Amino acid sequence: MANLQRMAQQMQQEMLRVQAELESATVDGSAGGGVVTAVVTGKQELVSVTIDPSAVDPDDVEMLQDLVVAAINDALRASRALAEQKMSAVTGGLRLPGM
């Protein structure tokens, strides 16, 4: 039983370490061939959005809005993939509830 508790403590410490890494990690997403880029943390928090001036067309604001949404979603997908990769390294691929 003590061995199981020690293993659980080690896993918990690893999870805390990974969560700290994810908070400081950033990933990029882009749309429109890179005219709009988004940066998010490994905890899925938006850090920045960059828009190339060539993407700004006052007559087509909807396209720019779509590009911004697509870039953010691309970055969020990359962030989730990074989190899943780091967490599975800790859990050994186990699908734990709430992780």
Query: What gap in Å lies between CA 80 and CA 22, rounded to an integer?
Result: 10
> For the segment 7-36, what is each residue's pLDDT rounded down to a tens digit?
788 888 888 888 888 999 999 999 999 999
Q: Which domains does the chain have, with CATH numbers?
A: 2-91 (3.30.1310.10)
Structure pTM? 0.79
Q: Please, is 35 exposed, middle or buried when counting C-beta atoms within 10 Å of its C-beta (0-12, 13-18, 19+)?
A: middle
Higher pLDDT pick, 68 / 6? 68
Look-up of token digits 């003590």: 2
Query: What gap in Å lies between CA 76 and CA 72, rounded to an integer?
Result: 6
Average pLDDT over residues 61-80: 96
